[in-house]
Structure 1
Amino acid sequence: MSKNANGLPKLPLRLSPLQIIGLRTPSQGDWSRLRALQYSDLHRASTIRLASHGLAAILATTLYAGTLPAWLLGGWLVMVVASLVHVGKIDRTFADIAKRTMTQYEFNRQAVAVALCSVPWVLALLFFPGQGTAAQHFGLWTLAAMLIAGSGAATSAAPISTLVFDLVVGVTGAASFVISGDLLFAVASLAFMLTIFSASVDSARTHLSAKIAEAGVAEKDEVVSLLLREFEEKESDWLWQVDNNRRLRAVSPRFAYALGREPGEVEGERFIRLIAGDSFETGEISRSLHDLAERLKRRESFSNLMVQAHVGGQRRWWELSGTPMRDDSGNYIGFRGVGSDVTEQRDRDDKIAYLARYDTLTGLPNRLMLTESLGEALRYSEQWKTRCAFLMIDLDRFKAVNDSLGHQVGDQLLALVSERLQSITSENAHCGRLGGDEFAVVIRDADDRNFVEHIADTIIHKLSHPYVVDNHTLYIGASVGSAIGPRDGNSVETLMRNADLALYRAKDEGGGMHFNYVPSLHADAEERRTLELSLRNAIGKKELELNFQPVVNANSEEVVSFEALLRWNSTEHGFVSPGKFIPLAEDTRLIVPIGTWVLHEACRTAVRWPGDIKVAVNVSGEQLLERDFAQNVVRALADSGLPAHRLEIEVTESVFLRDGRLANQTLEEILALGCSIALDDFGTGYSSLGYLRDLRFSTIKVDRSFVQGASEDSQESLAIIRAVVAMAQSLEMTTTAEGVETAEQAAMIRDLGCTKIQGYYFGRPMTTADAHALVTKRRAA
């Protein structure tokens, strides 16, 4: 059995009756596909079969009523109905046979079911005539002959059904006439049966040919519809066609336009060579063109194949679909298909893919690509039993640059940082940007521990060199935290988390250094997490309290004010050092609600002191940049009844680095209320004189480090204190020296001209009750 151009079974010019019936497989072709075409309409004849057999059975029962016992006729009638129900059930299983193939088991089962239908009539023809008259015998044969003819007409599409029923019943009918001595009728019965069967085979041949032709047309229509639908839905631009030598044929104007040529110029050209352009001569044909050539060579259909073409010296992307063509004899004659130029769409997709994996500001791989690279490094380490590394980098002092000079300068600085990082990377070390001012390096092979240290030290060294951006010379640094895989984590998430913990430790130690992950860092992080959780509930649990350290007049040594100092006695962690929980509160912005509580509590305490004693409250940058901070001060004064001139707000220079305009505006509002402002830790930070010029500070506080240095005869410390005192006097400001612990230091500070003194020599931080007792006792004395 050969096949047509669309791969369908094609009926040979001569097909034997046994091949038509299904008892022999054709020398070429698909037996199961042929049987499926034959049996596709069989289920529709089931009702006719049931009606005709049922009517004939009723007539036969009527014919022999009174001649045969009623129970015998009833039993025979039940046998007929049972066999009909059984074959009808099997016929209905072929309702979907056109969409699949038929098995030998289904073929045999249907033939057996038809044979069972013939059994009741065999019994009737053999035994009923002996109990009745000749007329009844001829009447019974007439009914059987009608069924034979009807079977040949109704089920001719599946001739095995006609063969089984007609052969069994027809031979039995002839045998019944032989038994009764009517040889002429026996011969006539056999001739009738053979005539019906022969006609059924011819009818089956015609039916099968028609079915094959119908299926062929349907599948051809389906192919054409598929191509047209693809052409319309995919907005394909042109049709293409090649012969069996893969040369272009029937070139359409639109296809020629896509090639940048005239139709006549490309007619007969080799398809692959034409679209490969110059790369065909060099042998550097793209992988997609190789794929297209292989599919054409194997003569297999393809759809939506993305091909890289070179047309007019430009690289283009084409989306091609094609199917092989065959002639009526089934011979391959070429390919035809549809195509479209999707270069713009492909470029957009490539750009989207790039943006998904690369940082737009620096051009470095982004977090997604870094995590993928780290995952590959971990898999490589597991496969080859090596080590990999992940380094997290955070820029030191970048926030100050961004806040003071603006985001535009900050972005240019990040671009310069990325250039320096790229200069130290290699095939074994890939760098990228995680976000903000955080970068990372993935080291694929980190078996050499010194290599990780070398990379980290090189990063810190290179990133610490000065940068020039918009005529600004900028100095920043870098801190690095590293984790080694799989020792410090066998998953991407774990390794990144542990490197982050190491980075946090490097930042916590002051920055500008590299720390490796150690397990204790995880414990520190867990402690920090539990401390944060406890700190969030500290106000509600009334675990926070204020201590007050006295500030005295340098000459009279009378208490003139107290500095409010926050203390935390946690029920879970015990006494927690301010050096530990204050930075935590700053990082988590818990300092804002805590600072509000400190301000209100300090005012409520100070209102009970004598009227000439002030209270100083430290305010962080996070608080000062809250837009309602001045209103908060107003509420604290109003709720406590404390006069505004008795409240002094202490700030450090760092508050001006983030948003100097807003900080100045807020402090001006506080000054307008009548409060005073002290500049704390002057000389240890940026010490810009612009702050003193723009804002009317009441006090400048000299840091304890200068006091300790001066007491040890440090000329630099002595010079700084003298300069600060002279400047404050000229600006009509007072000065407060911090950290005075001995009488000698107090005398020295007094001689240097400081206005006020604060330190352990005059009093350690004390409780609210002790502070109240101190001022009461001194005033009474």
Structure 2
Amino acid sequence: MKVHALTSAGKGTIWSLGMIACALVAEPASTDIVWAVVAMLILASTASRFSVPLSSIAFTAAAGAGALIASLATSQFTLAGIVVISALLAIFGVVESARVAVAARLAEAEMQEKSEVVSMLLREFEEGQADWLWQIDTRRRLKSVSPRLAFALGKEPGQIDGQSFLQLISGNGWKTGQFPQSLHDLADKLKRKENFSNLTVKVSIAGQNRWWELSGTPIVDDMGNYQGFRGVGSDVTEQRESSEKIEYLARYDTLTHLPNRRMLNEALGEALKYSADWRSRCACLMIDLDRFKAVNDSLGHLVGDKMLGEVAARLKPLVREGEVCGRLGGDEFAVVIRDASDRDRIERLSHAIIERLSEPYEIENQILYVGASVGSAFGPRDGGTVEELLRNADLALYRAKDEGGGVHREYEPSLHANAEEKRQLEHSLRHALERNEMHLQYQPVVDANSEEIVSFEALIRWHSAEHGFVSPAKFIPLAEDTRLIVPIGTWVMQEACREAAVHWPEHVKVNVNVSPEQLLEPDFAATVVRALSHSGLEPKRLEIEVTESIFMRDAGIARKALEQCMALGCSIALDDFGTGYSSLGYLRKLKFSTIKVDRSFVQGAAQQSPESLAIIRAVVAMAESLNMTTTAEGVENADEAALIRRLGCTKIQGYHFGRPMPLEDVRRILGRHDTADRLKSA
């Protein structure tokens, strides 16, 4: 371009020298003629060489300069002005023409690039694995069939070109007239000539159901006339099946294939709405298996899962249309009844569930037995929301379980009051120790023959600032359920040991009750060691009382903890013997120092019950053979004390010898006995 511009400048210079020569040697008029020729050349250069503006500018500038000099030399000032203006206009014209030409070339190049990109994308789209283009005419017949569309239809492009699009994708439904709703929706869109996007349509291809996702827009010509439809489509069968599977997993229990908690909540919400619309009532039945945990613990979760599957299979035939049976979680199931106007139906269904689920199960060549408890609540009477109805049905189930299981109980408002009271008690119980609301009372245990005090049993009492005196029968089970019994039991152990070490004679022991929850703590033995070391109490003066329930859970952990305490020198008493499972295997597994006979047998023996008398004699004989002592509980008068003495019990505990008493009374009694002992020795 630079060489071309220099050449053009040289040509313009030659013409300039010619005009100057004419001005110097010829007449002035000849200058006008030469300028006219040069002006014509400048115009030609400007018009023909706008693509190389630098050359045109160089030629115009060189030629214009010569014409200007020649006109000035001949004093043709008017011509000089015309030369200057012409040259400038020519130069500006060249620049503007070149700018327009360059912009047009750039736009053309950009359009060419875009066209190549679009072509490439369309080619990749056509050759893709799942997507295709489709186009139909005004009669809804396919045209310009793409290879991918033909492949999706299982045909060759030539076979389906000109065929009815709806007929091809409707399968046998075209003959029977039975179309999926999604096909009706597609036909309506095409009929109304509406744009649509991501419309999921169920199609039938070669007898197989598939799911397509279609988008389309109507085609119109320049005059606005409808020419058909054009769009894109893709096969989304796998995505649809995957989403349906996810939806199934979100609404059904994978173990039992019953509706899960989410679907039960939805069914209960619909049942409540139905009740409100028709002024009827619905019902929710909560079902819990009895003794299922023992199956899981003894045989493993695999057997437990198979049993839950069998439970589900037994429940399904019991429900009718309009009733939804599902699994809430664990071994808890529920039945939602939309129309519960027949009250007898609820009762019959509950008893049928209990009876059917209580039948024996044969799993992996083993015969297993579990029971079932049922709690029910009616909506909207017992709750206007799903949460309230589920909560109240659960409260009714708790009542059925508390009564021993195997029964059906309906919700009563008092159950909610009891639950609320329990919640408030739990809240207060969590702060009872830090508020110093707990204290200990002690009940004496005497020698059956000499009636001398041999020990005191420490009994915890709670006087709440909010609830007043709370019975141990009420707050001890609550403390065990919430595991608050662990810190409470630790406090009892420390206080009882400190009191016995500081204020009691050396021959008097202290008995401390220990919950199974405490024995399951890995550092229970360390807790006992700390209580003994901080108080200075000799281990032989501490007797730990446990019940048979410690062997119902992790018996190995409980036995190990008690053996560690025995190794320290503490003695172990088995409390309430005869009221639980009363397995003699416990006595073989762990060497107890004392067996405490429950008060119910003592009262029965006082009434000359042969069974109670036989049981006490058997326990005494067994204890003597095992080198254990026996303590009879609940002795309330002298006749019962004499009877127990004749039956051979070693120690006696009961109101006849003293009720649970505060520290001051214990110290006074022990002080009086200590004084009497000193007088006797003197």
Query: TM over 0.5, yes or no?
Result: yes
1:452 has 2:346 as partner: yes
The residue number in structure 2 matching 1:346 is 240
What's the CA shift string for 1:427-449, capped at 9, x where partnerless? Answer: 23222222233322212112222
What's the CA shift string for 1:433-479, capped at 9, x where partnerless? Answer: 22233322212112222222333333333333343444554443333
The residue number in structure 1 matching 2:560 is 665
1:365 has 2:365 as partner: no
Residue 776 of structure 1: how far off its partner (Å):
3.9
1:516 has 2:410 as partner: yes
The structure 1 residue matched to 2:335, chosen from 441, 445, 449, is 441
Distance 1:228 1:719, change over 3 A: farther
1:737 has 2:627 as partner: no
The residue number in structure 1 matching 2:547 is 652
Distance 1:769 1:480, change over 3 A: same
What's the CA shift string for 1:589-629, capped at 9, x where partnerless? Answer: 22121111111111112213222322221111222212222
- Alignment partners' CA distance in 2, 1:235 and 1:303: 20
| 3-state secondary structure, aligned to 1:416 | helix
Could you tell me which amino acid in structure 1 is paired with residue 291 of structure 2?
R
The equivalences for 1:625-774 within 5 A come to: 625-774=520-669
1:610 has 2:505 as partner: yes
The equivalences for 1:298-337 within 5 A come to: 298-337=192-231
Residue 236 of structure 1 contacts residue 338 of structure 1 at CA under 8 Å; is this kept in 2? no
- Alignment partners' CA distance in 2, 1:763 and 1:264: 107
| 3-state secondary structure, aligned to 2:336 | strand
Residue 235 of structure 1 contacts residue 340 of structure 1 at CA under 8 Å; is this kept in 2? no
Residue 230 of structure 1 contacts residue 236 of structure 1 at CA under 8 Å; is this kept in 2? no
Residue 466 of structure 1 contacts residue 474 of structure 1 at CA under 8 Å; is this kept in 2? yes
Could you tell me which amino acid in structure 1 is paired with residue 198 of structure 2?
N
The structure 2 residue matched to 1:500, chosen from 387, 390, 394, is 394
The residue number in structure 1 matching 2:85 is none
- Alignment partners' CA distance in 2, 1:229 and 1:399: 64
What's the CA shift string for 1:24-61, capped at 9, x where partnerless? Answer: xxxxxxxxxxxxxxxxxxxxxxxxxxxxxxxxxxxxxx
Distance 1:331 1:570, change over 3 A: same
Distance 1:311 1:658, change over 3 A: farther
The equivalences for 1:86-105 within 5 A come to: none
The structure 2 residue matched to 1:533, chosen from 427, 435, 439, is 427
Could you tell me which amino acid in structure 2 is paired with residue 673 of structure 1?
L
Residue 641 of structure 1: how far off its partner (Å):
0.9
The structure 1 residue matched to 2:292, chosen from 369, 375, 398, is 398
- Alignment partners' CA distance in 2, 1:778 and 1:473: 61
What's the CA shift string for 1:75-109, capped at 9, x where partnerless? Answer: xxxxxxxxxxxxxxxxxxxxxxxxxxxxxxxxxxx
- Alignment partners' CA distance in 2, 1:767 and 1:542: 15
The residue number in structure 2 matching 1:109 is none
Runs of 5+ unmatched residues, structure 1: 1-216
Distance 1:279 1:703, change over 3 A: farther
- Alignment partners' CA distance in 2, 1:621 and 1:338: 70
Residue 403 of structure 1 contacts residue 657 of structure 1 at CA under 8 Å; is this kept in 2? no
The equivalences for 1:218-257 within 5 A come to: 236-257=130-151
- Alignment partners' CA distance in 2, 1:337 and 1:322: 4
- Alignment partners' CA distance in 1, 2:124 and 2:340: 52
Could you tell me which amino acid in structure 2 is paired with residue 569 of structure 1?
H
| 3-state secondary structure, aligned to 1:365 | coil
The structure 1 residue matched to 2:179, chosen from 267, 285, 291, is 285
The residue number in structure 2 matching 1:557 is 451
Runs of 5+ unmatched residues, structure 2: 1-110, 678-682
Which stretch has the larger CA shift, 407-416 or 340-349? 407-416
Which stretch has the larger CA shift, 256-265 or 645-654? 256-265
Residue 274 of structure 1: how far off its partner (Å):
2.6
Residue 692 of structure 1: how far off its partner (Å):
2.6
What's the CA shift string for 1:639-689, capped at 9, x where partnerless? Answer: 111112222222222223332232233223222222222222233223333
- Alignment partners' CA distance in 1, 2:596 and 2:368: 28
Residue 326 of structure 1 contacts residue 332 of structure 1 at CA under 8 Å; is this kept in 2? yes
The residue number in structure 2 matching 1:572 is 466
Give the superposed CA RMSD: 3.0
Distance 1:367 1:747, change over 3 A: same
| 3-state secondary structure, aligned to 1:244 | coil
| 3-state secondary structure, aligned to 1:563 | strand
- Alignment partners' CA distance in 2, 1:385 and 1:660: 54
Could you tell me which amino acid in structure 2 is paired with residue 678 of structure 1?
A
Residue 323 of structure 1: how far off its partner (Å):
2.0
| 3-state secondary structure, aligned to 1:482 | strand
What's the CA shift string for 1:219-269, capped at 9, x where partnerless? Answer: xx9xx99x979969x985222233333333333332333333443444444
- Alignment partners' CA distance in 2, 1:594 and 1:510: 28
- Alignment partners' CA distance in 2, 1:572 and 1:474: 47
- Alignment partners' CA distance in 2, 1:237 and 1:453: 58
- Alignment partners' CA distance in 2, 1:647 and 1:540: 26
Could you tell me which amino acid in structure 2 is paired with residue 353 of structure 1?
E
- Alignment partners' CA distance in 2, 1:230 and 1:520: 72
Could you tell me which amino acid in structure 1 is paired with residue 505 of structure 2?
P
Distance 1:469 1:746, change over 3 A: farther
Distance 1:672 1:272, change over 3 A: farther
Identity of aligned residues (%): 68
The residue number in structure 1 matching 2:39 is none
Distance 1:376 1:231, change over 3 A: farther
Could you tell me which amino acid in structure 2 is paired with residue 418 of structure 1?
A
| 3-state secondary structure, aligned to 1:658 | coil
Distance 1:404 1:566, change over 3 A: farther
Distance 1:468 1:723, change over 3 A: farther
| 3-state secondary structure, aligned to 1:561 | strand
- Alignment partners' CA distance in 2, 1:542 and 1:680: 28
Residue 551 of structure 1 contacts residue 756 of structure 1 at CA under 8 Å; is this kept in 2? yes
Distance 1:531 1:231, change over 3 A: farther
Could you tell me which amino acid in structure 2 is paired with residue 772 of structure 1?
R
1:380 has 2:278 as partner: no
- Alignment partners' CA distance in 2, 1:405 and 1:731: 33
TM-score where L is the length of structure 1: 0.66
The residue number in structure 2 matching 1:41 is none
The equivalences for 1:58-69 within 5 A come to: none
- Alignment partners' CA distance in 1, 2:402 and 2:643: 35
Distance 1:235 1:584, change over 3 A: farther
The equivalences for 1:71-90 within 5 A come to: none
The structure 2 residue matched to 1:598, chosen from 484, 492, 499, is 492
- Alignment partners' CA distance in 2, 1:733 and 1:270: 97
Distance 1:551 1:409, change over 3 A: farther
The residue number in structure 2 matching 1:427 is 321
Could you tell me which amino acid in structure 2 is paired with residue 494 of structure 1?
E
